[in-house]
Each structure stands twice: as structure tokens, then as C-alpha cells.
A and B are shown apart, each in its own frame.
Chain A
Amino acid sequence: MISIDVIQSTAEQLMDKAAIEIPEDYHNGLRSAAKVETGSLSGYVIKAMLDNYDAAKEDRCAMCGDTGTPRWYVKMGNETTIEGGPIALEAALRRATANSTHRVPLRPNRVHPLWRTDHNNNVGIGAPEIEYGYEPGGEWIDLITVHKGGLFGTDYRMLFPSDGIEGIKRFYLDTLVAFGKRGLACQPAIIGIGLGGCKDTCMVLGKRAACLRVVGSKNPDPKIAELEAEFKELGNSIGMGAMGFVGKSMVIDCHIEVGYCHTGGMQMSMHAFCLSSRRAVARIYADGRVEYRTDPDWFTDYQRRETVEWPLSTHATLSEAPGG
């Protein structure tokens, strides 16, 4: 049984970490971009961003004043039980979100879409989002918070098999260029692409590809991994950089995730995880141990499974290998 108090205190720590500390993988990605960026204005911007991460850490203040829309991804091993059950879990996550909004402080971004009511704590109808995943083995819970920013950089399009890779590339470039102008997407970003599924799952896949995979990770399908590399190149050859100034850094990494779709369609979604690529992760065990990490490790073989059945034994080691 996982203690509900440990869940709440860990969730509060995660909220702080996500808002303040840029994850190492994105930080390294941006440092590499700084080395190759030749545009003088866009190079200046990247340098300012790197200084900004240091300032945020030193001053223990949010890296970006727009602290995004905090949300939770929760994953559990098959044997996990939670003190108080799922209702207590959701209450703890909502409490942690509200408390951290005051403590860090975060910007109370969440308002009612029509009445613009603001509870000043980032909690409201459907906020924060809480999404779930399960793994075959173990008694543990992974709490992942993502504070994705950006009103810009995300788009969906219903493509069809006859659009082919050329059509996918077109929509990819269209979205990068449209939202890259004036730097609305706060690039260079981690670009997540969802292909297939249904319209809603296509959006979910793309968002998770952007937010729940670390820079440098590859899709296990070698042909998709090739596309990821090609798309990263392509995005960085547009001639545009940070803030939409002339440059060559648009894409820190490109991640593609797929889901089976209707035989007549080829749904595509694009998501840009911005210069403040905020995520933080912890695994809590039944004995109260808490391990923090920055890799959500969401897309396991189990999450990407294609078969009807899944042999439980192949995943028995997962609970012993956090982040693996």
C-alpha cells in the first residue's frame, strides 16, 4: 500500500522541481544548439535562455513567468494499491497543485473558458488533468508532472494514406513555420508528432511524444527512428531559429509515436514542448522510498504493445529498474 501523505509531499516537490529546474536532457540539447547556432540574434536568445536556467535555479524561482498548465501523468505497477484509493490520490494531486501554485509561486493560469473565473490555484473543472497508465509488474507509483506552456505550436490534421510521407512532411513544416514566426512556439522545442489513433488519441500520442520522451530517445521501430532524425534535420534547415530570427535551431529533438487508426485515415498531430520543457518524475514504493528522476519512461514496450495478450513474466524486472 502506498502512503497518501508520501504521495502528496512528493507531488509538491515535483511541482517545484518542474517549474524551477530545466531537465538535464533538454538543457544539454540546448547547449549543443548554442554551439552550432550562427545567427547572431537567435544565438543571443539561446545564450539568454541558458543564463535564465541558471538564474531560476539559483533564485529558486520559476524559469518562465508563464508556468504553463500543470498536469499529471500517473503510472502504476499491476500490484499497486493506494491508501484511500483513487479518489484520495486525485485529491492529493489537486492539493499539491494548489499548494505549489502559492508556494513557488506559479502563475494561476487556469480559468473557466467562458466566464474566465480564476481560483488562483490552477485547479478547476478538469484541471489539473490526470492521466493514467499501468505496467505489468510491481507495487509502485510513478508521478509525472508536466507544465507545458504555449498556446502555440500545436495543431491537428486529418491526413489520408494518399498524402503519404510527403503530406506528413508538409504539415510538419507548415506547423513549424506558422508557429515559428515571431517565435510564438518558443522554439527551439522538442517536437512531438502523433500519427494515427483517432482524433483524440492522436493528440494524446503527440503530446506524450513531446512531453514524456527525453531528448536523444528513439522510437524502437528503426524506420520511425529514421524519420525522427530526418524530421529533426529538416526542421533545423528551415533557416529559422529562436524567436523566429534567422538561424538554424528550431528542433532540439523530434519524437514520433504511432497508434493504429481507421483504414482510410492517417491522423497527424504536432506538439511543441517549448524552451521551458518542464517535467519532473518520481517513483514511490510501498515501503515509502521515493526516487526522483527526469525521464518519465512512459513509452515502455508494454505501452506500445501490438498483441492481444502480454506475457506478465517479461516485465517482472521493471519495478527494479526505475528510469531504465
Chain B
Amino acid sequence: MKIREVQLSTTPDEQAIADLKLGDIVYLTGLLYTAREGVYTRALENQANLPLDLPTESAANFHCSPAATIREDGSFDMGAVTATASFRFAKWLPQWMQKTGAKLIIGKGGMSSEAYKEYFVPNGAVYLSTVGYGTGALLGRGIEKVEAVYWHEELGLAQAMWVIRCNKMGPFIVASDLDGNCLFERENKKIAKNLDKVYEGTRPAVLKRFGETDDREDELIG
């Protein structure tokens, strides 16, 4: 299988998103912002005003806290950037997409296909996963400039909203499409076929635990 590489804007039009296929490699250019539990809570539950004009300035929400500091003169030093696991943010994402028009959700591990069908597809959004996931240094090379950081005093540097101008930042991998398909679930289905064989010669623990599953096709997240 040949892997296709695509250049994409962080304010992509409908056609550009519709053209993306599961497993495509994407490089992003434009403005993107980080937002995770701290930003979601502040913006959605505490109704704080958004510091950016979204989605006009950016439709790309990165689930990330960069390795970065604010220098004494107020400028920024940002090295590596790496995504954090997105499934933990499912409770805020539908509302966030409505409020901000985010079209690209970028993170680690993707969401469930139910989530894609329920609120990604109706919002015309897809999920991009970082590769690896530890390719922080490569992604760092795609940072043209750190434009701003918001809410760091309230939320700390790791949870703050960082606004990053990127130039061909990547690689990212397309993990959902506008039909609501999920790359990880596709792969998990293929792998599940082999699992019974691998588990031969093992035995379930004599003492069970509550809330546990032995259904190895279960996606376990969500």
C-alpha cells in the first residue's frame, strides 16, 4: 500500500476535508491552537470569552501541551509538541465544535466511530492523529512562530491555550473521514481475528475484578 501525503490548511474548505482518506499523511499550514480539559472547562463550563476569533482564524484544535516556557521578556521558547489522548475529552467536544467551528481535531488515539458519526460528521470535521506518538521534535520543526499563549495564569503552562503558526507541520495521519469511519477500529478488527490464537495456552485469573471485559474486540475507550 502506497502512503499518500497531503498538504492541508488549518482553515480547510469542505472539499479539502472530503478528499481525505483514512491513512493519508497530512502536513498542516496556518494557525492552530491547543485546547484540552482546562480550556474546555473554562470556555464551556465557566463561559469565559474565547481569546481568538474561531473558526475564522483557525479551525484546528490540537490536543496538546507543548514543552514550552515563557521567557522573561515575554517571548516563547517552544521545543517539542506532542498530542495527548483525545478520548478523555469526548464530554466537551460536541459543544466545543458547535461553539468554535473546529474542523480538524488533532490528537492521540482518535475517538470512537460513534463519536465520529454523532458529532464529527454533522460538523464536517475529521480527526487527525499525530504519528508515533512521540514525534515531538519533527512536529516542532513545523512551528513557524508561537503567536500567543492565553489563560496560562489561570490554567498553568501545560493546560494553557497556545496559538501556533505552523508551516508544513507534520506528519499527521487521517484517522476518521466524513462517512464516520475510524482508522483505529478498522485496524483493531483485523487484529482481533488473530487474538484467539495468540491467547491459546493462557488462563483467566482465578480472582475476577468488577467492571472487566474479556471481549477483545471491545474498543475500551469512551
Chain B contacts for A242, CB-based, 8 A:
132
Q: A238 to B198, Cβ gap below 8 A?
A: yes
Q: Which candidate, B12-20, B90-98, B213-221, is the interface stretch facing chain A?
A: B213-221
* In contact, A170 and B134 (Cβ under 8 angstroms): no
CA distance A274 to B204 in the complex (A): 27
B141 within 8 A of A: yes
Give CA–CA (A171, B204) in the complex, Å.
Answer: 8
CB-based contact B187/A244 at 8 Å: yes
Known: A45-B132, A186-B132, A186-B134. Is A56-B159 also a contact (CB below 8 A)? Answer: no
Indicate whether A164 reaches chain B with its CB closer than 8 angstroms: yes
Q: Which of B157, B173, B184, B221 contacts A118 (CB 8 A)?
A: B157
Taking a contact as CB atoms under 8 Å apart, the answer to whether A173 and B202 are in contact is yes
Query: What is the minimal beta-carbon distance from B192 to any residue of chain A, in angstroms?
Result: 9
**Which stretch of B52-60, B77-85, B114-122 is in the interface?**
B77-85
Chain A stretch 11-52: residues in CB contact (< 8 A) with chain B: 40-41, 44-45, 48-49, 51-52
Distance, CA A186 to CA B133, complexed state (A):
6
**In the complex the two chains form, what is the Cα distance from A45 to B133 in whole Å?**
8
Residue of B nearest to A106 (CB): B67
The complex places the Cα of A164 from the Cα of B205 at a distance, in Å, of: 9
Q: How many residues of B contact A (CB 8 A)?
A: 64
Question: Contact: B198 with A173, CB < 8 Å?
Answer: yes
> Separation in Å of the A160 CB from the closest CB of chain B?
6
Contact A65-B67, Cβ < 8 Å, known A49-B135, A55-B141, A59-B140: yes
The residues of A that contact B194 with a CB separation of less than 8 Å are 238-239
In the assembled complex, the CB of B34 is this many whole angstroms from the nearest CB of chain A, namely: 10
Nearest neighbor of B214 in chain A, beta-carbon distance? A174
Partner among A48, A163, A239 whose Cβ is within 8 Å of the Cβ of B138: A48
- Residues A162 and B136 in contact, CB atoms below 8 Å apart: no
A153 to B137, CA, bound (A): 23
Q: Which residue numbers of B lie inside 8 Å of A, CB to CB?
A: 1, 3, 23, 25, 38, 64-69, 77-85, 108-110, 129, 131-141, 155-159, 171, 173, 184, 187-188, 190-191, 193-195, 198-199, 201-207, 209, 216, 219-221
Closest 6 CB pairs of A and B: A118-B156, A65-B82, A61-B79, A65-B136, A56-B137, A64-B134
Known A167-B203, A246-B191; 4 more pairs at CB < 8 Å: A64-B82, A111-B158, A177-B195, A238-B191
